[in-house]
Amino acid sequence: MARFIVEGGTPLRGEITPAGNKNEALPLIAASLLTDDAVTLRNLPRIRDVRGMLEIAIALGAKVDELDPHTVRISGAPRSMEVPQKLAGEIRASLLFAGPLLARLRKAQLGLPGGDVIGRRRNDTHFLALQQLSAELEVAREGYELSTEGLRGAEVILDEASVTATENALLAAVLAKGRTVLHNAASEPHVQQLGLALTKMGARVAGIGTNTITIDGVERLGGIDHTILSDHMEVGSLIALIAMTRGSATIKKAVPQHLRMTRLVFKRLGVETEIAGDDLVVKGNERYRVEEDIGGKIPTIKPGIWPGFPTDLTSVATAMATQAEGTVLIHEWMFDGRMFWVDALERMGARLVLADPHRVVVVGPSQLYGTELRSPDIRAGMALLGATLCARGRSIINNVEQIDRGYEELDTRLRALGAKIERAA
C-alpha cells in the first residue's frame, strides 16, 4: 500500500497542466468497440481507472496499441460478451461496456462493478434504459446478463439524470434500429464530448448538451482520432489546493467554459480566479472570507445537475471551507456516504459538525495540524491532500492508490509547484 508523506505550510506557485478528463476517457474506450476501425485516443490520463478499462477492452477482444504515454489506438471487433468479474470489480465504469456489447454481439455479461465507496450507487437506471431499447436483463449474485434480439429505438425516460446511464443508453442507441429519444439525459461536459465523438464516427445525434438527446440509429460507425479535454474536476481540485496553501499559480489548458459554476462556488469561499485565454489563474490571498447570503445568512454549498456545482468537488470544497473566515453549510445530497471522511479533518483541527450523512457545517478559519490519515476514495483523498499541504507539520496519507485512480502522478506534478510531498511504499 502506497502512501504520501507531506510536510505542510509551503505555498504552491508556478504553472501546472491538468491531465485529460478521466470521465471522458472511460466511455470513449467503451465506444471504441462500436466499430471495427481504429479509434485513436489522445491526452489519455495515465491512471488506474483508464488502465482498467483498457484491460477490459483487451479481454473482450480488442487490440490496444500504445502510441505514446498518453495515446492509444484501439482496433478490432469484440469477440467476447463477458466483462471479467475481477476487472469489473475494480471500476464502476465497467458498466459502460453493456451498450456496445448489446449493439455488436446482442449479449453482455457483466461482473458487479467496483468504484468509490461513497454510499449507494444505483445501477438500475442503466438497465431500465437498456430494457426500453429492447434488451432483457437477468440478475445473478455475481453480476448481470443482458440479451436482445436486436436493439430498437424508443422514447427512453431515465429515472434520474445519471451520467453513466446516459452514456450507456447513447452507446446502445447509435447502432439501434430506428430513432431513440433520451429524456432527462445528463449533459455534463464528458457526456457532450462522447456525443461529439460518436458524431464524428458517423452517428446521428442531436441535442448534445441538452437534457433531451435524439439518436437515429445507423448501420455502422467508423474510426476516429480524438483528443480528450483537460479534466475540469482536476482543475477544480487544483484551485482549492493552491488557495489552501496561500499560493498563486496558473492552471494551463483549463477549459474555462466548463468552470463557470466551480469558479462561482470557490468565490463564495473567498477564492479569486481569473481567465487568461485558455488558462486559469488562482490569485494568492492571505485571508479568505465566506460570502454570506443576503441579510448575513449562512450560505449553503451543494452540488447540482450540470451546469450546477459538480458533486465530485464537494469534498475539496469542504476542505477549502476550513481555511475561510465564516460559516458555511455543505449539503451533499447525491451520495449518502460522501461526507463520512470529515472526521479526519476534525482530527486535524477543523471546526465542523457533521449534522447528518448529507450535511456538514464548517466554521473557519482553522489551523490544521499534520497527522496520519487514510484516503477513503478519490475525491476525499484529494481533499485530505489539500488539508495536509496547508497543515502545520508532517502528515502521512495511506491508501493513496485511491487518489491514483483519478489523478495522474499527482505527487510529481505538485512538487513542481513547490509542494513538499514524497511517495513511499
Cα torsion angle, 282, 288, 290, 296, sign: negative
Residues labelled catalytic = 116
pLDDT of residue 47: 95
DSSP string, 176-195: SBSEEEEES----HHHHHHH
Range 3-19+230-424 has CATH code 3.30.43.10: no
How does strand 394-398 pair with strand 372-374? parallel
Give the closest residue to 320 by CA, choosing from 373, 392, 241, 388.
241
pLDDT of residue 335: 86
Q: Give burial (CB, 10 Å; 0-12/13-18/19+) of 80.
A: middle
Strands (E), 258-350: 273-276, 279-282, 288-289, 300-301, 324-331
| 222 alpha-carbon distance from chain centroid | 27
pLDDT of residue 60: 97
d(CA 197, CA 345): 41
DSSP secondary structure code for residue 336 in this structure: T
Considering the entire predicted model, what is its pTM?
0.94
Total residue length of the chain: 425
pLDDT of residue 115: 53
Give the closest residue to 344 by CA, choosing from 314, 319, 313.
319
Class of domain 22-227: alpha beta
d(CA 246, CA 300): 23
Residues pairing with 66 in the sheet: 72
| 126 alpha-carbon distance from chain centroid | 18
pLDDT of residue 121: 59
Residues sharing a CB contact under 8 Å with residue 231, sequence separation 6 or more, in sequence order:
18, 19, 20, 21, 22, 23, 24, 45
Please indicate whether the domains covering 3-19+230-424 and 22-227 agree at the CATH topology level.
Answer: yes
Domain boundaries, the chain: 3-19+230-424, 22-227
Full strand arrangement of the beta sheet holding 224-227: 63-68, 71-75, 39-42, 224-227
Residues sharing a CB contact under 8 Å with residue 398, sequence separation 6 or more, in sequence order:
1, 3, 372, 373, 374, 375
Per run of 10 residues, the mean pLDDT along the chain (length 425 residues) is 96 98 97 98 96 97 97 96 92 94 97 62 89 95 92 97 97 98 98 98 98 98 98 98 98 97 98 98 94 97 96 97 98 91 97 96 98 95 98 97 93 98 95
Strands (E), 1-76: 3-7, 13-16, 39-42, 63-68, 71-75
pLDDT of residue 118: 47
pLDDT of residue 207: 98
The mean predicted confidence, pLDDT, of the chain is 95
| 326 alpha-carbon distance from chain centroid | 29
